[in-house]
A and B are shown apart, each in its own frame.
Chain A
Amino acid sequence: MAENTQKLLEVRELTMDFGGLRAVDSITLEVCTGEIVALIGPNGAGKTTFFNCVTGIYKPTRGEILVHPPEQKTYKINGFKPNRVTAMGLARTFQNIRLFQNMTVLENVMIGRHCRTTTNILGAILRGKNTNRQERETIERSYELLEKVGLVHFADEFAKNLPYGAQRRLEIARAMATDPFLLLLDEPAAGMNPQETKDLDELIVRIKDTENISILLIEHDMKLVMNISERIYVMEYGKKIAHGSPQEIRSNPKVIEAYLGEGGDDA
C-alpha cells in the first residue's frame, strides 16, 4: 500500500453480537483510494454482517467506523441510518439479490439517483423546470450506467425477468447510480458461470479505473479474488485470521487450514 494514498474507509475493532453469538469480533480494516480489497472467509464467518454494520443496516455493538470522503472531513458513521451512509458515498450490493422486482431495470437504477436529486411532492406534481431537468439527468445517467454494465437492451424489462447474472450486474449499476466513492460488493459472482465471472472481473476493474471508485469485495470465487484484489482480509468465526497480498494469503497456513477444515475450497 503506497504511503501517499488516502484512506477512505477505516474500521476499528468492529464487534457485532447477536445475543450470545459474536458474529464479528474486533475486525480492523482499511480501504484506500484506488484499491480493490477483498474480504474472504468460510460460510458464516461474519462477512455479510460486517457489511451490514458498515452500511448502517445493523448498529454495531462496539468499534468505530470512520469514513473519509475525498476532500471532506472525517465522519464517524456508527449508528447512521443506511440512507445517510449511502448519501455519504458508500454504496452496496446484496448477497441475496434485492432488486425492486416489479419495477423496470431502468427504474431500478433511477432509484439510485434518489439521494442525488431533490424533487419533493409538490415539485413532482407541478413538474417545474427544475424537476424536469433533474428527471432528464436521472434518465440520462441511468441509461449511461446500464450501458456500462451492458444491460441497455433490458432497460424496459421488469427486473424480475432478468437472468441471474444480469440481475447481479443491475445491482452494481444501481449502487453506482448513487455516486459512491466506495462500492461494497457482497458475493457479486455467486451463481454466475465462468464466462459471466470473467466479464464481471473486467467490469469491476473497469469501474475502479475509469469511475474512480474503490471497491471492497466479499467473494468465494478464489480465482476472481486473487486476480483483481490488491489486498485480502480473511475472516473465520468473526475474527480476522489473516491480511495481506494475494501471494501472502495463498501461502498462509492459517488460511489454508480454515478453508481445508471446512471441506476444501469450493470456489
Chain B
Amino acid sequence: MAMISYLKSCLIAAIWFVFLTFPLMVVKVNTLKNTVEWRWMNMLWVAIGAFILSAVWRWAMERRARGASQKEQESSDSDKKPSLGERLLEDPKLYRPLLGLVVALALLMPWVSEMYQVTIWVFALIYVVLGLGLNITVGLAGLLDLGYVAFFGVGAYTYAILNTRFGLDFWICLPIGGLTGALVGVLLGFPILRLRGDYLAIVTLGFGSIAKIVYENWEGVFNGARGIEKIARPGFFGMEMDISAATTFTYYLMLVMVVFTIFVTNRLKDSRIGRAWMALREDEIACVAMGVDMARTKLGAYALGAFWAGLVGVIFASQTTYINPASFDFMLSAIVLSMVVLGGMGSIVGVVIAALVLNLLPEYLRAFEDYRMLVFGAVMVLMMLFRPQGLVSNVRKTYTHSKKVHAEEANG
C-alpha cells in the first residue's frame, strides 16, 4: 500500500515536470521554415528522469527523517562512535600518515605532471587561501561578506601598478599587497560596523561591485577595461626562469602560502581573539556585554580576511601577468563564499577540501562544463538540506587544566 502511494506521488511529480517543461523541451518552433517540431522523445526522457529523481529524493528525505529521530533516541551512543571523517581528523594514528601522503604528493606534483596541470593547481591553491581568508571573516566572526573579491583585486592591482609603473619587485609587493588589502578592509569595515546579517551582505555586495566599477572606469590609475599587462613573474635571487619554471616556483610559493594561512588561522581559532570572533558570531549583544570591544574585534576580522585576499591577489597577478577588471567579478566572491559554506563554517580542513573540489572538479570534468552552474546549484541545495553544517562540522578544542590533569593521573 505504502509502495503504491509512494509510486503515485512520484508519478504525479513526473507529470507535473513534463507539464512545466513542455514548452521548453517538446515544442520547438522553427522560425525559418515556419514549422513546429514536436519532440516527443524529450517528453519521455523528462518523465523518466523526473520520476527517478523524485523517487530518490523521497527516499533520501525519509532516510534523513528516520536518521534524525534515531539520533534523538541514542544521542549518547552516537557521541561514542564518531564517523570515519571525524576519526580521520582526530586520531593521530590515522591522520598523520594521511597528512604525510598529501604533503608528499603535493611536493612531487610539478615533477610528474605537465605545466598545464601545475597552472590549474596554482589557481586551485589561490582559491584555497581565499577560502581560508574568508573563513576568518564569515566562518569565525560570522560577518557575511559578499564583496570579498574587492580585496583580492586590491592586492592584484597594487602589485600590477607598483610593478609596471614603479618597477617594484614581487617580494616587496607581496607584503604591501596584503597590507593594502587589510587597510582597505578596515576602511570599508568602519561604516558597516553596525550592520548585521542580510544588511551587511547587501552592503558588502555593493562594495564588491563598486570596486570593479572603479577598476573599469578609472583609466588613469587602473587602465580601465584594457587592464594591465606585462606584470613581472616572481624572481628568485635574480635567477632567470622560463614560464614553466616560474609556474612551478609559484606553485611552491602557493603551497607555502597555504601552510602559512592554515598555521595562522589555526593559532587564531583557539586564542583570545578567535574566541571573541566566535562569540560575536554567536550573539553580538551578549558578546559586548561580556566586555568584548565590538568595533575592534570586527575590524580585526575584516582586516585579516582582507589581508589574505590582498596577498594572494599579488600572486594571482604575477601568475597571469595580465589582469583586467573582469577577473574581479562577483562570481569569484560567490564561489569563495560557497567554499566556506560547503566546507563547514569555521572548519579549516573542510574549507580546504571544498576549495579543491570546487576548483578541480570542473577542470577534470570538462564534459560537464555547460552544466557547471546547474550542478553547483544542485549541490548547494542538497548540502543545505542534508548537511547544513558543511562537510566538516566545527569541532571545538577541549582545554585541559592542572586539576583535570592531576585527576586523570590519579585515575589512570
Contacts of A260 in B (CB 8 A): none
Assembled-state Cα–Cα distance A111/B289 (Å)? 11
Query: Per-residue CB proximity of B290-306 to A under 8 Å, as 1/0?
Result: 11111000001000100
Cβ-based interface call for B109 (8 A): no
Assembled-state Cα–Cα distance A110/B264 (Å)? 21
Q: Are B272 and A114 in contact, CB atoms less than 8 angstroms apart?
A: yes
CB within 8 Å for A178 and B290 given contacts A102-B278, A124-B267, A143-B403: yes
CB closest residue in chain A, given B286? A98
Cβ-based interface call for A5 (8 A): no
The residue in B264, B288, B300, B304 that gathers the most chain A C-beta atoms within 10 A of its C-beta is: B288
Contacts of A262 in B (CB 8 A): none
Cβ-based interface call for A100 (8 A): yes
Q: Are A114 and B276 in contact, CB atoms less than 8 angstroms apart?
A: yes
CB closest residue in chain A, given B399? A139
Tell me the count of chain B residues lying within 8 A, CB to CB, of chain A.
34
Cβ-based interface call for A125 (8 A): yes
Closest approach, in angstroms, between the C-beta of A124 and any C-beta of chain B?
4
Cβ-based interface call for B219 (8 A): no
Closest approach, in angstroms, between the C-beta of A128 and any C-beta of chain B?
12
Q: Are B399 and A121 in contact, CB atoms less than 8 angstroms apart?
A: no
Q: Are B289 and A86 in contact, CB atoms less than 8 angstroms apart?
A: yes
Query: Per-residue CB proximity of A92-120 to B under 8 Å, as 1/0?
Result: 10100011111110110011111111011
Assembled-state Cα–Cα distance A120/B303 (Å)? 13
Contacts of B282 in A (CB 8 A): 99-103
Assembled-state Cα–Cα distance A3/B282 (Å)? 44
The one of B278, B288, B300 in contact with A81, judged by C-beta atoms closer than 8 angstroms, is B288
Q: Are A98 and B304 in contact, CB atoms less than 8 angstroms apart?
A: no
Cβ-based interface call for A140 (8 A): yes
Contacts of B294 in A (CB 8 A): 81, 83
Contacts of A33 in B (CB 8 A): none
**Contact size class for A?**
35 or more
Cβ-based interface call for B401 (8 A): yes
Q: Are A112 and B290 in contact, CB atoms less than 8 angstroms apart?
A: yes
Cβ-based interface call for B8 (8 A): no
Closest approach, in angstroms, between the C-beta of B149 and any C-beta of chain A?
23
Contacts of B264 in A (CB 8 A): 125
Assembled-state Cα–Cα distance A108/B116 (Å)? 49
Contacts of A125 in B (CB 8 A): 264, 267-268
Q: Are B398 and A138 in contact, CB atoms less than 8 angstroms apart?
A: no
Assembled-state Cα–Cα distance A144/B167 (Å)? 59
Q: Are B286 and A107 in contact, CB atoms less than 8 angstroms apart?
A: no
Contacts of A55 in B (CB 8 A): 289
Contacts of B71 in A (CB 8 A): none
Contacts of B276 in A (CB 8 A): 111, 114
Q: Are A86 and B290 in contact, CB atoms less than 8 angstroms apart?
A: yes
Q: Are A119 and B290 in contact, CB atoms less than 8 angstroms apart?
A: no
* Residues of chain B from 280 to 329 with CB closer than 8 A to chain A in the complex: 282-283, 285-294, 300, 304
Q: Are A156 and B398 in contact, CB atoms less than 8 angstroms apart?
A: yes
Closest approach, in angstroms, between the C-beta of B42 and any C-beta of chain A?
47
Cβ-based interface call for B30 (8 A): no
CB closest residue in chain A, given B346? A102
CB closest residue in chain A, given B389? A102
**5 pairs of A and B residues whose beta carbons are closest in the complex:** A115-B291, A124-B271, A86-B291, A98-B286, A100-B282
The 14 sampled A-B contact pairs (Cβ below 8 Å) are: A81-B288, A83-B290, A91-B291, A99-B286, A100-B287, A102-B278, A103-B278, A104-B398, A107-B278, A115-B292, A119-B272, A127-B267, A143-B401, A177-B290
- The residues of A with any CB-CB pair to B shorter than 8 Å are 55, 57, 81-83, 86-87, 91-92, 94, 98-104, 106-107, 110-117, 119-121, 124-125, 127, 131, 134-135, 138-140, 143, 155-156, 158, 174-175, 177-178
Question: Besides the contacts A94-B289, A103-B396, what 16 more A-B pairs have beta carbons closer than 8 Å?
Answer: A81-B294, A83-B288, A86-B291, A94-B286, A98-B283, A102-B278, A103-B275, A111-B276, A113-B272, A115-B292, A121-B268, A121-B273, A121-B304, A124-B272, A139-B399, A140-B402
